[in-house]
Amino acid sequence: MKFREFIGNEGTHIGSNSWAISGSRTESGKPLLANDPHLALQVPSKWFEVSLYNEKKKYSVCGFTIPGVPGVAIGHNDVISWGLTNLMCDDSDFYILSRDSATGGNYIYRDKSFALDSSMESIKIKDEKDEYVFTSYTTVLGPVVSGLSKTGFINKQKFDDVNENEILTFRWTGYEYSDEIETFYKLNNAGNWNEFKDALKTFGAPALNFVFADTADNIGYRSAGFIPVRNFSETESAPYIPQGPVALWTGFIPFDEMPESVNPADGYIVTANNKPKNNYKYYISNLYEPHYRAERIEQLITGMPLINEEESKKIQRDVYSIQAKEFCGFLFEAFGDSTDLTPDIKSYLDILRQWDYEFRLHSTGAGIFAMFEVQLYKNLYQNELGSELFEDYLYLKNIPVRNTSKLLKLSSSFLFENNTIKRQIIRRSFYEAVSGLISKYGSNPDGWKWEMMHDVYMRHPLGIVPEFSSMLNIGPFSIGGNGTTINNLEYSFSKALTDQRFESYLGPSMRMITNMSSIKNYLSILPTGQSGQPISPNYGDQARLWLNGDYKKVTTDFAELKKENLKMLSFEPAE
């Protein structure tokens, strides 16, 4: 847990919003493209914003790059713009292989005997004279992980169930050969949809959704990356944990058969880690994000006659939760027209009934719902799973959210025998939520406003040292939103349960809006600043703008840039 806190690893750090809107729906008559990847909110920023200019070709490409990686990952050139989100692909499997009893070090795979590959590894340890030396083993599927005392840094599970005659190995698409550098080089230089699509052929892992717009009035969507094809039925409704030979990979979904959409009739494309295509013949995943963000984005797009950059900003800032409205419906049903409620419980329910389901700073309803939600998860799952497994269950937030949405629609399940028991669980969760709020924030509901409970604190890895904290960390700031709003500010369900902390660790790691009618300019913002140097004025100068949902206007016109009084940072090769 301490390691998880030190590196800011309170969740899976996956999620994003991206959409492209055709010129038929925009004020300018040209497409708009927006993107905001949801990643850990840390210092320095995950992204470094750049504008690359080829003076010989009079050609520029700009946007966001990962520090140290060549090329622009998200951005635009003079003709096209692109964004990306996580496909949520089920891209890894564990396999138990039998050891070959006839030969000491071999194992059996597909009825054949193979020798284990091995290599010596060493790790330098601070204040230790000698390095820690160990042997790592690899199979044709991937590394051997049996024998490890823990499954990872962030949990307590062990590989205890593998006997001495078996080995546990791990297969992941990231071990396959791919060339992401070539992909982004080609993307940076693409001039149309076909060149954009061709660039994605060398992309491997993780599988992503790519959204596209160009100055020729085209919009498009394409998934890219290795998506395993397994032996079991090629359908989204396949079993969650296939066993035996059916779990083996037979290849990957052919590139030409991957989900794609070009210039759809309804004039927009939305991807928010939701299922990319209904009734798709291949299995991709059962780990998609809940539909709430994607559905809300579509609601806002279709509810506006014509969209411009200002409307796009409003969409990215939106804090309305469809999930909260849905869950509150079951809460109100559980209480019904109860006449035996105390006046205070009635008043708290009335706050929720009058709530607009927006996670705004001054909303008391948001605070009550957030506490009710985590208590509901505890009362539904903890007894059945046990405390340790329950904590792991809460780690990937979309699982309890999606499953609870399904369960609440049922009249019975293995967790509750009938509607009466289900309603009792819901009511108990509400009572415990109110009790927790009173205990932590006092008896006056004015102290339960979301701004009192939900904040963001962007930490530097060295900011854990008290003497460095004020210099390196940025915040804390009160902030709106939650994990199911478009403006996604996710917090740990576990911490919310144990100490009523709703500190957000994940959110928009940048925001970008590109109007293809003015391709030389775009809108963007980072949650901290461009610089990773604490003494630089650009270390945290964008934090307040990001916090308030504001943007900076960026020009990529090199002639205009030269007129500005800008600072020059030169990189020269060492002699």
Query: Could you tell me if residue 158 is inside a domain?
Result: yes
Q: Which of 130, 149, 175 is the last residue of a domain?
A: 175
Nearest to 427, CA basis, from 302, 354, 342: 342
Nearest to 86, CA basis, from 229, 322, 294: 294
Q: How far apart are CA 211 and CA 222, in angstroms?
A: 7
- pLDDT score recorded for residue 396: 87
Nearest to 173, CA basis, from 112, 90, 240, 53: 90
Q: How far apart are CA 13 and CA 505, in angstroms?
A: 9
DSSP string, 141-180: SSBB-TT-S-S-TT------S--TTEEEEEEEGGGS---H
Q: Which residues share a beta bridge with 523?
A: 513, 553
Q: How far apart are CA 33 and CA 514, in angstroms?
A: 5
- pLDDT score recorded for residue 527: 98
Instruction: Report which secondary-structure segment, H or E, holds 329.
Output: helix 322-335
Tell me which amino acid residue 131 is. Answer: E
Query: Could you tell me if residue 162 is inside a domain?
Result: yes
Q: How far apart are CA 200 and CA 550, in angstroms?
A: 32
- pLDDT score recorded for residue 557: 80
The verdict on whether omega for the bond into residue 476 sits within 30 degrees of 0, i.e. cis, is yes
Q: Which pair of structure tokens corresponds to residue 271?
A: 């991807």
pTM for this prediction: 0.93
Domain count, the chain: 2
Q: How far apart are CA 421 and CA 379, in angstroms?
A: 11
Query: In terms of residue numbers, what domain contains 113?
Result: 92-175
- pLDDT score recorded for residue 6: 46
Q: Looking at residue 344, which CATH number applies to its domain?
A: 1.10.1400
> Pairing mode, if any, of strands 80-86 and 74-77?
antiparallel
Q: Which of 150, 175, 200 is the last residue of a domain?
A: 175
Q: How far apart are CA 177 and CA 179, in angstroms?
A: 7
Q: Where are the beta strands (DSSP E) in 332-489?
A: 455-458, 474-478
Query: Could you tell me if residue 117 is inside a domain?
Result: yes
The sign of the CA dihedral 171, 175, 176, 179 is positive
Query: Could you tell me if residue 513 is inside a domain?
Result: no
Q: How far apart are CA 518 and CA 287, in angstroms?
A: 38
Pair 99, 167: CB distance under 8 Å: yes
- pLDDT score recorded for residue 269: 98
Nearest to 32, CA basis, from 298, 215, 240, 224: 215
Per-residue pLDDT of the chain (575 residues; tens, 9 = 90+): 444 454 445 555 467 999 999 999 999 999 999 999 999 999 999 999 998 888 787 788 999 999 888 899 999 999 999 999 999 999 999 898 999 988 878 999 989 999 999 999 999 988 888 899 989 999 999 999 887 666 665 556 666 566 788 899 999 999 999 999 999 999 999 999 999 999 999 999 999 999 999 999 999 999 999 999 987 655 555 545 556 666 789 999 999 999 999 999 999 999 999 999 988 989 999 889 999 999 999 999 999 999 999 999 999 999 999 999 999 999 999 998 777 899 999 999 999 999 999 999 999 999 999 999 999 999 999 999 999 899 989 988 999 999 999 999 999 999 999 999 999 999 999 999 999 999 999 999 999 999 999 999 999 999 999 999 999 999 999 999 999 999 999 999 999 999 998 999 999 999 999 999 999 999 999 999 999 999 999 999 999 999 999 999 998 887 777 777 777 777 777 77
End-to-end CA distance of the chain: 45
Query: Could you tell me if residue 368 is inside a domain?
Result: yes
Q: Looking at residue 112, which CATH number applies to its domain?
A: 2.30.120.10
Query: Could you tell me if residue 210 is inside a domain?
Result: no
Query: Could you tell me if residue 168 is inside a domain?
Result: yes
Q: How far apart are CA 197 and CA 412, in angstroms?
A: 47
Tell me which amino acid residue 470 is. Answer: S
Q: Which pair of structure tokens corresponds to residue 104?
A: 């000491």
CA atoms within 13 A on the CB side of 440: 20
CA dihedral of 200, 202, 205, 209, whole degrees rounded to 10: 10
Nearest to 43, CA basis, from 469, 347, 524: 469
Q: Which of 152, 175, 198 is the last residue of a domain?
A: 175
Query: Could you tell me if residue 417 is inside a domain?
Result: yes
Specify the 3-state DSSP secondary structure of 313: helix
